[in-house]
Amino acid sequence: MENRDPENNHAIYHYLETQLQVFKGHFLITQATMDEEAIHQMRVAIKRIRSIRKLKKHINFPSLLRDEQYVSIKALFAVSGQIRDLQVQRTLLKNYVSELKFEFGDFSSFLDLQESQLAVQLNQTIQTFYNNQFSEITQARGGIDLVEENTDIENESVEFLHRKIDKINKLILLIERDEFVHNLRKQVKQLFFILQFLKNHFPASVFSAYKLKALKDIGEHLGKWNDRDVILNRLHEFLEPRDDIYLEDNAEYQILIYCLEDEKKQMLKDIDLALYLEMINLKSLFQEDYKENQEMETIVEEANPIETVNAKIIE
Amino acid sequence: MPVDMENEYKPGEHLDNDSENGVINPDDFILDEFAKVEGNHIQGPAKDDQGTNPELIHTADEIMEIISQSDLIERAKQEKLQMVLQKQIGIFERKTEILDRLILEMELIKKKRRLAKKAMKKAKDNKLSKDKLKLIKTHLSQTTEARQHCKQMINQEQKNLKSINAIINLLENAS
């Protein structure tokens, strides 16, 4: 996997720049209309930026974003995440209203109130973000020239991915507990974004052979699990202050709880096995490539041992 | 006077007898002195026809030692009893806590069961799908099972408490 072309190293910057542009576009729409899809797409762009940021921490190349800009993006991500969750909950509730034939009127009003409060909070965050940070982001393009020519993003990414896979494998063992499923979902999403980036920008590499669909499907299942978990928590938050008489008179909420819990189980069914197999698949792909590299190095060494040793010493 | 009282030692008696002969039996003298100190009438050793049996006579030191040993044994017995009693009281307290928790758990299960029943009624009224009814039924049977299990545990704990209580009463009476 010989890949020392500086242009390849610039790929990461082109990718980040593209994501920043995508983010900027959706940010402006969100600012103007609070459109549901714009908020979602803005968050997806941030997730991609954050995934690459994780890779960057491992490889250590100059960043397009200053630390304080990144902190602001994270704050925006958190607030927009809460509003996004509420929007997802509304959609889910709508589906349950039609499926279970109950109105769930009180819960719906509760969500309305929360959404309006969060919208105000998001507006304030957007305003602060726009005034302080956003105008400067696109000026950071000069970072591309700072990439060292011997930085081998492709090779170094493999090591990073190995660590990510190990982390996911450990989390699979803890899938019975909700807090670990949340972490697993995030790890799978990050892995997906990084692989997507590497596959698109290094078409001749080992990553190109990998089919992303299985991982995408697993990620979607985990996403659906998360949607149900979030609405379930919100529902408990809504029901907690109510007395027993309210709960018994409105037993449809209990039916909703049963359905959500059941669907959560369904979403995780066999996912541990599927994910485990996918990780083996991914790891074996990298290992084959690693073996090939080792073999190639051995052939070169055997052909010209002195030069190879000298080269290693110089290195 | 009964036959077995014939050889009873009488304080002062031997002194008269012995002083007549001019000889004082030292063991009899000690016993006599001991009787004076204690203010009790101490039964002397069995005497043969001649009035003495030195092999069977305890010395004052030996008696004191026996009394002292009995005290120690009695004290140790009481300590042991108290220890066992305290241990049983500790177990009783712990078991009471467990029982309280089980009773709370039972209340929660009953509440869940009531809710599940109401949910089932609403589901039937709204003519929900078979899948949904089955789901609610599963929860309902789970609460039934949980209630039975909890009830068994409560009964068992109550029995345990009763037994421990009986042991505590017994130990308190013995101490």
What lies within 8 Å, CB to CB, of A25 at 6+ separation is none
Residue B130 lies in a domain: yes
Which of A20-34, A216-230, B55-69 comes out lowest in average pLDDT? B55-69
Give the class (CATH, top level) of A7-151: mainly alpha
Asked whether residue B27 falls in the same domain as residue B82, the answer is no
Asked whether residue B36 falls in the same domain as residue B79, the answer is no
Asked whether residue B21 falls in the same domain as residue B51, the answer is yes
pLDDT at B94 over 80: yes
The pLDDT assigned to A122 comes to 87
Which of A78-87, B29-38, B77-86 comes out lowest in average pLDDT? B29-38
Asked whether residue B51 falls in the same domain as residue B92, the answer is no
Q: Is A186 exposed, middle or buried (0-12, 13-18, 19+ CB in 10 A)?
A: middle
Contact: A101, B132; criterion CB under 8 Å: no
Asked whether residue B85 falls in the same domain as residue B45, the answer is no
- Per-domain boundaries in chain A: 7-151, 152-299
Cα B42 to Cα B15: distance, rounded to the nearest angstrom:
16
Contact: B118, A248; criterion CB under 8 Å: yes
Output the average pLDDT for chain B.
79
Which of A274-283, B2-11, B89-98 comes out lowest in average pLDDT? B2-11
Asked whether residue B131 falls in the same domain as residue B158, the answer is yes
Kindly report whether the global pTM for this prediction surpasses the value 0.90.
Answer: no
Spatial CA neighbour of A107 closest among A93, A125, A95: A93
Contacts of A259 in chain B (CB under 8 A): 132, 135
Asked whether residue B24 falls in the same domain as residue B53, the answer is yes
Give buried/exposed letters for A107-124 (b at 16+ CB in 10 A, else e): beebbeebbeebeeebee
Contacts of B126 in chain A (CB under 8 A): 100-102, 252
Cα B151 to Cα B173: distance, rounded to the nearest angstrom:
33
Most confident of A9-18, A80-89, A118-127, A234-243: A234-243
pLDDT at A193 over 80: yes
Range of the domain at B48: 3-57
Asked whether residue B97 falls in the same domain as residue B38, the answer is no
Which residues of A lie closer than 8 Å to B, measured between beta carbons?
A: 100-102, 244, 247-248, 251-252, 254-255, 258-259, 262
What lies within 8 Å, CB to CB, of B92 at 6+ separation is B161, B164, B165, B168
Asked whether residue B84 falls in the same domain as residue B168, the answer is yes
Asked whether residue B49 falls in the same domain as residue B134, the answer is no
The pLDDT assigned to B26 comes to 56
Asked whether residue B79 falls in the same domain as residue B128, the answer is yes
**Which chain A residue's Cα is nearest to B112?**
A254
Distance to chain B for A95, nearest Cα, Å: 14
Which of A82-86, A100-104, B2-6 comes out lowest in average pLDDT? B2-6
CA A185 to chain centre: 8
Cα A220 to Cα A214: distance, rounded to the nearest angstrom:
10
Contact: A254, B135; criterion CB under 8 Å: no
Residue B62 lies in a domain: no
| pLDDT tens, position by position, A107-130 | 999 999 999 999 888 888 888 776
pLDDT at A35 over 50: yes
pLDDT at B53 over 70: no
Contact: A258, B119; criterion CB under 8 Å: yes
- State percent of chain B over pLDDT 70: 67
| pLDDT tens, position by position, A134-182 | 555 444 444 444 444 545 677 778 888 888 999 999 999 999 999 999 9
Residue B146 lies in a domain: yes
Q: Which residue, of B34, B57, B80, is where some domain finishes?
A: B57
With beta carbons less than 8 A apart as the criterion, state whether A72 and A129 touch. yes
Which of A124-138, B40-54, B91-105, B150-164 comes out lowest in average pLDDT? B40-54
Any idea what DSSP says for residue A216? H
As a whole number, mean pLDDT of residues B55-73 equals: 79
Asked whether residue B97 falls in the same domain as residue B142, the answer is yes
Contact: B115, A254; criterion CB under 8 Å: yes
Our count of domains for chain B comes to: 2
Of A102, A254, A258, the CB nearest to B126: A102
